[in-house]
Structure 1
Amino acid sequence: MTAPQEVSVGEDDRVRLAPGVMLRQDRVRNHWQLLGPERVLVLDDIALEVVRATTGQPVTVREAIDALAAQFDAPRAEIAADVREVLADMIAKGFLTR
Structure 2
Amino acid sequence: MTTAILPKVPVIRRGFRLQFEPVQNCHVLLYPEGMIKLNDSASEIFQQIDGSRSVGQIIVALRERFPDAPGIDEDILAFMEVASAQFWIELR
Give me the TM-score of the superposition, normalised by structure 1: 0.81
Residues 22, 91 of structure 1: CA spacing in aligned structure 2 closer, same or farther, 3 A cutoff? same
Match of 1:62 in 2: 56
Match of 1:21 in 2: 16
In the TM superposition, 1:42-57 aligns within 5 A as 42-53=37-48, 55-56=49-50
Give the drift of 1:28: 1.2
Could you tell me whether the CA contact under 8 Å between 1:35 and 1:41 is conserved in 2? yes
How many residues are paired up?
A: 90
What is the distance in 2 between the residues matched to 1:43 and 1:73? 22
Could you tell me whether the CA contact under 8 Å between 2:20 and 2:26 is conserved in 1? yes
Match of 2:6 in 1: 11
Residues 26-49 of structure 1: CA deviation (Å, up to 9, x unaligned): 111211111112032111110011
Residues 3-35 of structure 1: CA deviation (Å, up to 9, x unaligned): xxxx76711111010011000111112111111
1:97 paired to 2:90: yes
What is the distance in 2 between the residues matched to 1:57 and 1:13? 10
Give ranges in structure 2 of 5+ residues lacking alignment. none
Could you tell me whether the CA contact under 8 Å between 2:10 and 2:51 is conserved in 1? no
After superposition, the CA RMSD in angstroms is: 1.9
What is the distance in 2 between the residues matched to 1:91 and 1:57? 14
> Which runs of at least 4 in structure 1 moved beyond 3 Å after TM superposition?
none
Match of 2:65 in 1: 71
Give ranges in structure 1 of 5+ residues lacking alignment. 1-6
1:88 paired to 2:81: yes
What is the distance in 1 between the residues matched to 2:54 and 2:68? 19
Give me the TM-score of the superposition, normalised by structure 2: 0.85
